[in-house]
Structure 1
Amino acid sequence: MSDKNKPFPFHDIDVEHLYALLNQNSDWVWEVDAQGRYTWASEVVTSLLGYPPEAVIGKTPFDFMPPAEAERVGKAFLEIVQEKRAFSGLVNRNRRADGRIVVLETSGIPLFDKNGELRGYRGVDRNISTLGERVLQLETIYDTTPVALCMIDRQGRLVMSNKAMSHLLNNDASGVTESHLSQLMPDFWHLFEEDFALADMDESIPGREIIWHDRFYDTHSVAVADASSNVVGLSITWVDITERRQAEQKLAGANLVLQRHAQHDHLTGLFNRRYMDECLLTEVSRSYQSHLPLSICLVDIDFFKLYNDSQGHQAGDECLQRVAKALVSSLEHPDDNVSRYGGEEFLVILPDTDSATALKVADRLRGQINQLKLPHLASPMGFLTISVGVATMDCQSLAVEERPQHMIASALINKADTALYAAKRQGRNQVVAAGRVTES
């Protein structure tokens, strides 16, 4: 071997013995310049690539790779050269002189001149064809899976990322020269710092949902440890669940519509009887807890059947809608509720209201309907009127443990109903209050 193909200056050592080690080893030892061109190659290159050392001098590693592989590995090697760092485990496919593919694992260290400028790399290639094909296949699967995948180190640097992850980050990565998740996603970096803290304590890392550029992602972090079991990174999976979230939101909206239909009367838009029965039970319970009175008004449109018969059902529906609107407008407190309780009957719940105040509210309801002046020729008054029965519950005179609350609510309704019929017997367009609901 000529001196010019010697990679090192040797003094006082067995040069022939050293070259025998280099040339008879299973690994191919080489040197490249700063442009990646081979300046020296051990004879092992012949067994690996089928070319003698002199045939590779002046060429680059990428000259022996298929075009797509040369592009992939070239990008990775360019980053290494720009950072002037050592590297290891760079798996790559090479085409031998006979056309067969061999898979090599490449490692190298940077070489510097006396001025500290990078002058090249010295490294080794190892034949890992059997295992290497599997590694490359896994890399292909990793890179082409539609799920975004990445690995970050403790500083947030993207050690690995697939195409889906690049697509995810491209929404905000323009102009960013460094691939650091801590810089690309500063608002979320603290979450991954929390994941590192959990991993250091050997605790499980929970998944979380992240909204990134109007997309919903279900993220899961898995700790990556080195040979000494020190956590050195996180492998993160980003599953785009935007469509699922949108479907859930649509479903939630549909459920709200269904719930509204289940709780409201379709004609008047008021709460229906089923909902108000539940509401009344709630108010009975609250009355006990707060030790405050509870009143209700049961409203009935006078001679409504005659109104329907004389003016038609469409006019009857419009009448119910106008009465409902007038009753609602008469209420002054936000906790007061009015519902269509059935047919031409309406129920008004008045929390924290005593009998005297309830009577005033009921009379205001009656007066509001009178002011509508809706013609009703079948009524003795000549216009539409209502009758109102009022009942009040005095919680201080009731023992809740002796009577179920639904029975107390039912008793309250019955008292108001009795007062309502008393109002009708007295000539209608009247307000009558029942006695307090007590334990009789």
Structure 2
Amino acid sequence: MSEKRRTDHRDEDVKHLFELLNNNSDWVWEVDAQGRYTWSSDVVTELLGVPPEEVIGKTPFDFMPPGEAERVAGAFGAIVMEKRAFSGLVNRNQRADGTIVVLETSGIPLFDDNGELCGYRGIDRNISTLGERVLQLETIYETTPVALCMIDRQGRLVMSNKAMAKLLGERAPHGAEIHFQSLMPEYWHFFRTDFELADGGETLPSRELGWFDRCYDIQSVPVRDAMDNVIGLSVTWVDITERRHAEQKLASANKVLQQYAQHDHLTGLFNRRYMDECLVAEITRAMQDDFPLSVCLADIDYFKNYNDTHGHQAGDDCLRIVAKTLTSSRLRSGDNVSRYGGEEFLIILPGTDLVQALGVAEVVRSNINALALPHHASPTGYLTISIGVATLHGKQISIEDKPLHMIASGLIHLADTALYAAKKQGRNQVVSARDAYTVP
């Protein structure tokens, strides 16, 4: 082939190539390392309403509304830093007549002989019909206050919004791929499990994860390709730190309320309401396990006279001293002491028969005597107590005989009857009901 024919053929190829570039739906362009157009096909006139020569030397951001230019410049800047190809970058552009066209941009990096990035070559496609919808969804995704991200099967973060970037903060590597295996090694097995569940068509559970000083409720949703294969997880991170703090405060407040509900504010002992519940529970155990259960009902002798003589403040101090003495009188961990009302105290002794209970009661009485607390309105001249003791034997009663609260009431009545006898017989003594269990 002659040189002229080769030249003509080459010219025909070039002419054909330019016809392809200038007469299709996609705008072909090249930009330099600074993002300035160095070449443009004629399709730009149809898309932006300006001839190719008016875009040369300008950047894509010169044809975008200000807010959009800032958004796309940020995304494109990250691409340039990594010197990588990109596709599907959706952006709004303003035509010469003021109308908006939505383009989808894709490009590949160009390098000089030294391997340095010298620009990009790419195409823009008009997707205005679908583009606004896509941009609206992207805006919602990007600006929602809930952290959102997508993780592929290799653990790479392939998509995230501003809230996710804030969540990761400075802990995420910059200018490099983010791998959750290395970023959150203690939690990666959760995501791996989610992939396995998603492959099996199972529902993915929500989880609570701690990330530094914050607590998150996370929910993964599988992302599938056209062949219905799971290619990633779309993960929602809801910050529940404040809620957890509020729940902890509420739990603490409830604990305090429970403390007040179960304890006597003056002595710190259990109160009557709690001890009534405790006694029912212990009766149930005694009947089920067939062991004895004893109660001691103690009353401070001449306490009204003590108040009248020494004053109510001294009376309160007296109640506290008696309470402390009762709880320190060699009681076992399972024994319970309460202020049962006024100057009365109840001691519940699980697994304790009558003889043992009388021994405990005598120790308590002796310890109160040993205080030698002055009581000028008492014949003895010092503080004393009287105690009534009653015992229930589990094997002698079945749960069908009476309601539990009536059995408990009957046991307390026996102890109270014994206490009354102790008072009647001169006080400062221990008296037993002398019955295993009698229905009052």
Q: Structures share a fold, TM > 0.5?
A: yes
Measure how far apart 1:210 and its partner are: 2.1
Q: Secondary structure at the match of 1:383?
A: coil
Greater CA deviation, 57-66 or 164-173?
Answer: 57-66
Q: Are 1:353 and 2:352 an aligned pair?
A: yes
Distance of 2:268 and 2:101 partners within structure 1: 77
Question: For the residues of structure 1 that align with 2:166 and 2:401, how far apart are their CA atoms?
Answer: 68
Q: Which residue of 2 aligns with 1:330?
A: 329
Q: Which residue identity lines up with residue 143 of structure 1 in the other structure?
A: E
Question: Which range moved further: 272-281 or 254-263?
Answer: 254-263
Aligned to 1:4: none
What's the secondary structure of 2:328's corresponding residue? helix
1:139 offset after TM fit, Å? 2.1
| Cα offsets for 1:90-119 (capped at 9, x unmatched) | 112234345544321012345678998766
After superposition, the C-alpha distances for 1:273-294 in whole angstroms (9 at most, x for unaligned) are: 1110100011111122332221
The C-alpha deviation readout for 1:60-95, integer Å capped at 9, x for no partner, is 434443454344323433444455544321112234
> How big is each residue's C-alpha offset from its partner over 1:295-339, in whole Å with a ceiling of 9 and x where there is no partner?
111101111122122222222222111111111111431111100
Alpha-carbon distance in 2 for matches of 1:171, 1:378? 76
Distance across 1 between alignment mates of 2:14 and 2:301: 121
| Amino acid in structure 2 at the alignment position of 1:380 | P
User: What secondary structure, in the 3-state scheme, does the structure 2 residue paired with 1:365 have?
Assistant: helix
State the alpha-carbon separation in 2 of the partners of residues 411 and 194 from structure 1: 59
Give 2:217's aligned residue. 218
Residue 191 of structure 2 corresponds to residue 192 of structure 1: yes
Using a 3 Å threshold, how does the CA distance of structure 1 residues 175 and 322 change in structure 2: closer, same or farther? farther
Contact 1:398 1:439 in 2 (8 A): no
> In structure 2, what residue type is equivalent to 1:383?
Y
Q: Distance in 2 between matches of 1:176 and 1:355?
A: 81
- Counterpart of 1:427 in structure 2 is 426
Amino acid corresponding to residue 205 of structure 2 in structure 1: P
Take 2:175 and 2:438, find their aligned partners in 1: how far apart are those partners? 77
* 3-state secondary structure, aligned to 1:183: helix
| Aligned position for 1:254 | 253
- Mapped to 2, the partners of 1:105 and 1:157 lie a distance apart of 24
Contact persistence 1:206–1:220 (CA under 8 A): yes
1:136-155 alignment runs, 5 A limit: 136-155=135-154
Can you give the 5+ residue segments of structure 1 that lack an aligned partner in the other structure?
1-9
For 1:210-359, what aligned pairs fall within 5 Å after superposition? 210-359=209-358
What residue identity is the alignment partner of 1:131? L
Change (3 A) 1:171 1:388: farther
Task: Determine helix, strand or coil for the equivalent of 1:438.
Answer: coil
Letter in 1 for 2:222: A
Match for residue 3 of structure 1?
none
Larger mean CA deviation between 322-331 and 155-164 belongs to 155-164
* Cα displacement string for residues 380-425 of structure 1 (whole angstroms, at most 9, x for unaligned residues): 1111100111112221232333333323222221221122122222
Separation of aligned partners in 1, 2:116 and 2:435: 99
TM, length-normalised to structure 1: 0.88
Specify the alignment match of 1:365 in structure 2: 364
Identity of aligned residues (%): 70
Q: Match of 2:417?
A: 418
Residues 104 and 258 of structure 1: CA distance in aligned 2, closer, same or farther (over 3 Å):
same
Quick check: 2:288–2:394 contact (8 Å CA) kept in 1? no
Letter in 2 for 1:88: S
CA distance in 1, matches of 2:10, 2:117: 25
Amino acid at match of 1:74: A
Distance 1:144 1:111 in 2: 33
Change (3 A) 1:75 1:176: closer
SS of 2:220's partner is strand
Distance 1:190 1:291 in 2: 51
Residues 12-31 of structure 1: per-residue CA shift (max 9 Å, x gap): 98554443333111211234
Q: Which amino acid aligns with 1:91?
A: V
Alpha-carbon offset, residue 38 of structure 1 = 4.1
| Alpha-carbon distance between aligned partners in 2 of 1:424 and 1:165, rounded to the nearest angstrom | 75
Q: Residue 25 of structure 2 aligns with which residue?
A: 26
Instruction: Tell me which amino acid in the other structure corresponds to 2:236.
Output: T
Q: What is the match of residue 409 of structure 1?
A: 408
Compare 24-33 and 113-122 and name the one that shifted more. Answer: 113-122
Look up the equivalent residue of 2:142 and give its one-letter code: D
**Offset of residue 145 of structure 1:** 2.1
Q: Is the 8 A contact 2:358 2:432 kept in 1?
A: yes
Give TM-score scaled by structure 2 length.
0.88
One-letter amino acid of the counterpart of residue 95, structure 2: R
Distance in 1 between residues matched to 2:227 and 2:173, nearest whole Å? 37
- Report the more deviating stretch, 106-115 or 25-34: 106-115
Identify unmatched segments of 5+ residues in structure 2: 1-8
Paired residue secondary structure (1:203): coil
